[in-house]
Amino acid sequence: MVDIIFYLLLLFLIITAFFMVFTKDLSNSVITLPLFGAILVIIFVILQAPGVALAGAIMTAGLTTAFFVITINKTEYGRNE
Amino acid sequence: MSRLNERFKKLYKIGLVITFAVFLLFLFYDIHNLDSDSKRYLSEHYISEGLQETGATNLVASVLYDYRAFDTLGEATMILTAATILAFLVPITKATMFGTTFKSIVNQTVKLIIPYLAVLGAYLLLFGHISPGGGFVGGVVLSIIPILLTITYSVEFSEYIFKPDQKKLVEDIGAIGFVLLGLLGVLTGSNFFASGQAYFRTGNAGEVFSAGLIPYINLMIGLKVGAGLAIIFNSLIKEK
């Protein structure tokens, strides 16, 4: 049962990574990044690495997304004014 | 012609990704099939005798802060350098805040969340040698508090609560204390950053005050990383 969930999670990881690279809108790409991070955290917990899972949860799903959102907000991307 | 050119560009991108994936597949296959008889004696030594030599239940912390603490000093110096450069480049112009104004739901929710975040960060700091966690992760959780204040209210309110001079002082205390704890191993006649070899481990394994110098090094690194990330975020959000 765990094997089926594990391989499904690996498939979702590949799908989100391809979507992040090949999408046209920058906002969609940035919002897909915490999804990628959350799936990676579940994979780390299945592989019995809780320390790496904690670091990945906080950094990838929380902090880098905030940094990217603020950087895109500073560049005035997508403002039709 | 232009359509052909676009299709060629898309195929080129997909081909690059697939080539890179195949290369990584071969690389990991070779790494996985290395001769594991004669080259793994160091990791076997860490796993079998790390608890006796250092006294830390978390073996990752025993490697990071006792066997290889000098590498951790280098990593912490990187964060210190980045925070110093970004604090030096504080802009003169006044920053424009976000276009959205938050409703009162967001303000009250952030007020409720902040004490739980503080307790979680302190737990991850102080129990880094028993359970998963440690200095870096606890410091990042503690740095989320001024970041949330900055995003929700304003830069001025966040710098009224946590003043920039205080944050720089806390970061310097963390950096200098880390090096002084390393010199404590030299005073006892052993190597730099020696806690297990200098017989510092007091108490039983699994308690809070055990494992020698590892909890204090965790505390110093947590203060340093938290203050450094808060300084970096506030300096970036002030840019116009």
Q: What is the pLDDT of residues A6-62, one digit of tens each?
A: 999 999 999 999 999 888 888 899 999 999 999 999 999 999 888 889 888 888 888
Query: For all residues of chain B together, what is the average pLDDT?
Result: 83
Tokens 């676009």 belong to residue: B6
Q: What span, in angstroms and rounded, lies between the C-alpha atoms of A62 and A55?
A: 10
**Residue B89 vs residue B4, higher pLDDT:** B4
- pLDDT at position B98: 57
pLDDT tens-digit profile of B35-75? 666 667 777 888 888 777 777 788 888 888 888 888 888 88
Q: Is the pLDDT of residue B202 over 80?
A: no
Q: Do A55 and B136 touch (CB under 8 A)?
A: yes
Report helix, strand or coil for B94: coil
- pLDDT at position B60: 84
- Residues of A within 8 A of B124 (CB-CB) are 54
Number of folded domains in chain A? 1
- B90: pLDDT confidence band, cut at 50, 70 and 90? low
Shortest distance, CA A1 to any CA of chain B (angstroms): 25
**Residue A9 vs residue B95, higher pLDDT:** A9
- pLDDT at position B9: 87
Burial of B97 (0-12, 13-18, 19+ CB in 10 A): middle
Q: Is the pLDDT of residue B99 over 80?
A: no
Most confident of B34-43, B145-154, B206-215: B145-154
Domain boundaries, position A5: 1-78
- pLDDT at position B42: 79
A77 Cβ under 8 Å from any chain B Cβ: no
Could you give the C-alpha distances from B214 to A43, B62, B118, B228, in angstroms and in order? 29, 8, 21, 21
Phi–psi pair at B207, nearest 5 degrees = -90, 170
